[in-house]
Amino acid sequence: MKLDTTNSIIEFLNQLERHKIAYTISHYLNDSISICVVVPGERWEIDINQLGEIQIEIFRSNGEIYDSKIMETLFEKFSD
């Protein structure tokens, strides 16, 4: 999929809203905007570059819920 104009991007955002799908927009790559969507059990990262090309990465939950004890493990794993 490719979006050709700013109007197409706005229509895409309107489509998310029509489906009552919440999103946030950010800009952290020089030539792209990012739309982050969080739905039950999934998170979508949608990047649209200045050429209108779209890349979508989907992160799915395994459904397992952890208590606060997991934080120490996460800090150890992901800290510098």
The pTM (predicted TM-score) of the whole model is 0.75
Q: How far apart, in whole angstroms, are the C-alpha atoms of residue 2 and residue 18? A: 20
Sign of CA dihedral 80, 46, 35, 37: negative
- As for how many domains the chain has, the answer is 1
State the average pLDDT over residues 69-80.
92
pLDDT of residue 39: 94
CB 59 within 8 A of CB 43: yes
Q: For position 38, which CATH number holds?
A: 2.20.25
Residue 34 in domain: yes
Q: Is the pLDDT of residue 15 over 90?
A: yes
pLDDT of residue 29: 76
- The one-letter amino acid at 11: E
- Angle value at C-alpha 63, between 62 and 65, nearest 5 degrees: 115
Residue 43 in domain: yes
- The structure tokens listed for 6 are 């700013």
- Domain of 64? 6-78
Residue 1 in domain: no
- What confidence tens digit (pLDDT) does each residue in 21-73 have? 999 999 987 888 999 999 999 999 999 888 888 899 999 999 899 999 999 99
Residue 60 in domain: yes
CB 21 within 8 A of CB 12: no
Residue 48 in domain: yes
pLDDT of residue 24: 97
pLDDT, greater one: 79 or 23: 23
